[in-house]
Structure formats: structure tokens, C-alpha cells
Structure 1
Amino acid sequence: MTVTPRRPGDPKPEPLGLLLAHRAMLRDLNRVTALVAGHSRFAPKRAAAVAGYIDDLCDSIHHHHSAEDDILWPVLEESAGPHVDLTELTDDHAVLDPKLHRVRAGAAALRATGEVPAALAADMADIRDTLHEHIADEERTIVPLIREYMSVADWATVEEGVRGRGAKMSFEAPRVIAVATPEETQVMLAEGGLPLRLMVKVMPVMFRRRERRVFGTA
């Protein structure tokens, strides 16, 4: 991709979608880790619901970090040039998939038996801690570079490319809506138009029922 250099005085992109995705991810990592650490077994229907939620969370994390590797990082490197060094963040991404694989294996065992494997609680805590540290590093180092060196047009192209990778919107959208402030929601609605307005009305209602099955007593 050929970037459009951001010139002094040009408007700065605001990576709100990236920040909200991080916020939703960390919220889920915290509460899923607490859930599996606090139970030794679940009834069959709830075990299936919890395992399914963990699978979707793993898919979401993989989608997010692979989109950064494949779409965001190349544009940022070309835009920021010598001001950016992504080596450490890319190395962090490389260790995520083996961790996700272990979590998925634990979820499969939970679904099959109803019992929470001890390894699942440990692996969830591991990936939670890894991503808390990684995301803090990313937001401290990368977000300022996006705002300073990327053009609004290039950021829009990055976001379009990420959306085109086929994330599961019935999982992603309600979680992002749940962590957004009213002001952030208004920004998203203004940018997303009618499709997002429909998502805001319909998806959270359906998703809350799923959350009750996973995190509640249903």
C-alpha cells in the first residue's frame, strides 16, 4: 500500500475502534478468567455456553492481532518510518497463538465433561496477564504514532481492511458497545450510519441473553 503522508496541520486520525476493541478484550479476559477460576464444574448446558464463549473470545483475539500484523503494522511502518519499531510487539503476537491453542483445548475439555480443567484457569490467567501488558505497551507507544504520522485517509483504509477480514460481528459489536461511553457511542453511530444503529438496537439484547447463560445462573 502507498501511504498518504500526514502533513503538519492535517487532521489526526482517532483510533477509537482500536481502543474499544482493546477495552472489550481486557474486560472479557478478566471476567472469563474469574469465572473458570471460581468453578470446578458446570451443568452441561452452561459448560457448552462457557466453552463457546471462550472459543469466540480466542477467535476475536486472533483476528485482532493478525489484523494488526497484516494490515496496521505495514501502514504504520511506512507512515512513521524510523520513529516506529514494532519488533517487540510483533514478538508478543507470535506467542499468542500457542497460548490460544491451550485455552481452546481447555474449553474443549470443559464442553466434553462439564469439569473445568485446572490448566484452563491457569492458561486463561496467563493470556490475561500477557495481553494486559501487551495492550498497555501498544497504547503507550503505537497509538501516539498513529495519531502523529498516519493520515485520516490511511487510517480509514486500515479500518476497512480489518472489517473485511470477516470478524464475527454478533460477538464483536455488542462487546464494543458495552464498553463505550455515551460520547464514544455517538461518535461510532455518526461514523457507522444505519447498519451500526441497527446493531446497537438489536445485538446487545440478544447478546445479554448469551451473557446470562455464561456468567449468570441460567
Structure 2
Amino acid sequence: MTPIDPAQAEPHPYTREMAMIHRIFRRESRLMTTLVAAVPPGDHARAAVLAGAWRAYVVGLHLHHSGEDELLWPALRPHLDGEAERLALMEAQHHALDEGLTRVGGLMDRWAAGAAEPDRDELVAALREHHELLCEHLDAEETTVMPLVAAHVGAEQWHAVGERGLAETPRDRLMIALGAVLEDASASERAEFVGRLPLPARLVWRLAGQRQYRREMRRIRGAWADGPLPDGAAGAPEPSGP
């Protein structure tokens, strides 16, 4: 969740960004399956790149879910009467996803060590399973829990979740995280999201962050990095250079 410029603060939680963040995990979990499946047997260098990308993905998903478990759900729970089962479902799905991540992580390490075709194929099957479970969870969260958050959680509590995630994100990954949010956003979403950032963050994104994100995506995606990438705001010019 984005750090908010105090001048842009709202009296209600900015829950629209949850769908934007969820797009990251839907996209990257789907794409990881495609990228791993395309690696030829024995390509240790490519396997190492994707294993590193997977570890970064897991860190991001863990930060997202732990922020909900430790800050967001406790803030919401006192306001629920007969709807507490919705949070129980979220927590159960988080647990199931954690177990799946552990399994995929073991398969990823084994495949990265040898880049063998049977290990790759087993990993691809586990990645598909993770993607399906993740999408089921994100769909349920957006349709059944986010409306409750919008109704019962204050903007300050919502902001605290974002601040916690921001504080735990390595500084050298902040522009990567921002680019990931903006990549599939509409022009209006990009303009609103970037407009809510503090001015220094907007400047860093425009001057250096976009290039950093493009380089990272080209390194990870290879031939899949040819699509449109985020420009940071509606009408912003494409940066020159790599």
C-alpha cells in the first residue's frame, strides 16, 4: 500500500489500491509458471534468475498477508457480528497459501540446483496450483471482506498497514514495488496512485525508478518483457535509455 502524502489524506480507507496490489500477485504467479515452463533443461543461469525472482515474490506476498493478519483483521473484527466467518476464511486461506509456498520453495530450490526437466515439470504443476489457490483467495477477499473494511476500518488504521509494509520493504526494492503496482493500472489509476505519493517519491520514480523497473523486468521476463510498461502517470513521457 502506498505511502500517502499527508496533504492527500482521506477520511476513509483507500481500498481501491487493494485491487491494484492483488493484480501484482495474480500477474506474477501466472507469469512465473510460464517463465519456468519455458526454461530448457540444463539452463542453470536462467533457473537461478527465476529462483531469485520467486523468492522476491514470496517476500512481497508474505508482507501483504502478514499486514492483514496482524493489523487489518484485528481492526475489523470488533465491528463484525455474524460475519466473523469471513475473516476465518481469510486466515484459513492464508495458512493454506503458506503451506503451498513452502512446497513450491522446496521444488524451486531443487530445480535451480540441477535445472533438470522432471524437476521443472513438477515445479510448474505446483506453481499452477499456487496460482489457482491464490486467485480464489484474492477474489474472495475483494468481494466479501473489502466492503467490510471500507465500512468499518478508519483511514488511519488502513494507512498503518501500508506504512508497515513500506518499512519492511528493502529500500532498493521500493521502485520495483511501485512499478509492479503501476504496470497493469489504467491511466486514471496511475495518475491517482502516483498523485498520492510524497513529492520526493514521485521525483525518484520519474527520474530513475521507471528505468530500474524496466531493467528488472527485462532481466526476469526476457522475451515476455516486450509489452507496455508503466509510465508513472497519465501522459508522462517514456524515459530514454535502457
After the TM superposition, which of the residue ranges 130-139 and 115-124 deviates more from structure 2?
115-124
Matching of residue 210 in structure 1 with residue 213 in structure 2: no
Partner of 1:146: 149
Distance 1:16 1:196 in 2: 20
Q: Which position in structure 2 is the counterpart of 1:7?
A: none
Distance 1:162-1:82 versus aligned 2 partners, 3 A rule: farther
C-alpha contact (below 8 Å) 1:35/1:215 kept by paired residues: yes
Q: Distance in 1 between matches of 2:71 and 2:63?
A: 11
* 1:108-158 Cα deviation digits (max 9, x unpaired): 223222335222111111110001000000000111111122222332233
Unaligned runs of 5+ in 1: 1-9
Are 1:51 and 2:66 counterparts?
A: no
Cα pair 1:71 1:162 within 8 Å, conserved? no
Between stretches 191-200 and 86-95, larger displacement belongs to 191-200
Unaligned segments of structure 2, at least 5 residues: 1-9, 226-242
> Contact conserved, 2:39 with 2:47, CA < 8 A, in 1?
no
Counterpart residue type for residue 157 of structure 1 = A
Cα distance in 1 between the residues matched to 2:203 and 2:104: 33
1:71-150 paired onto structure 2 within 5 Å: 71-78=71-78, 80-82=79-81, 84-85=83-84, 86-115=87-116, 117=119, 118-150=121-153
TM-score by length of 2: 0.77
Q: Shift of the alpha carbon at 1:60?
A: 1.2
The one-letter code sitting in structure 1 at the alignment partner of 2:96 is V
Aligned position for 1:4? none
Stretch moving more, 128-137 or 88-97? 88-97
Partner of 2:233: none
What's the % identity of the aligned pairs? 28
Aligned to 1:5: none
CA distance in 2, matches of 1:77, 1:52: 36
In the alignment, the residues of structure 1 paired with residue 109 and residue 19 of structure 2 have an alpha-carbon distance, to the nearest angstrom, of 30
Query: How many Å separate the matches in 1 of 2:83 and 2:191?
Result: 32
Structure 1 range deviating more: 111-120 or 176-185: 111-120
For residues 128 and 41 of structure 1, what CA distance do their matches in structure 2 show? 23
Deviates more, 1:177-186 or 1:63-72: 177-186
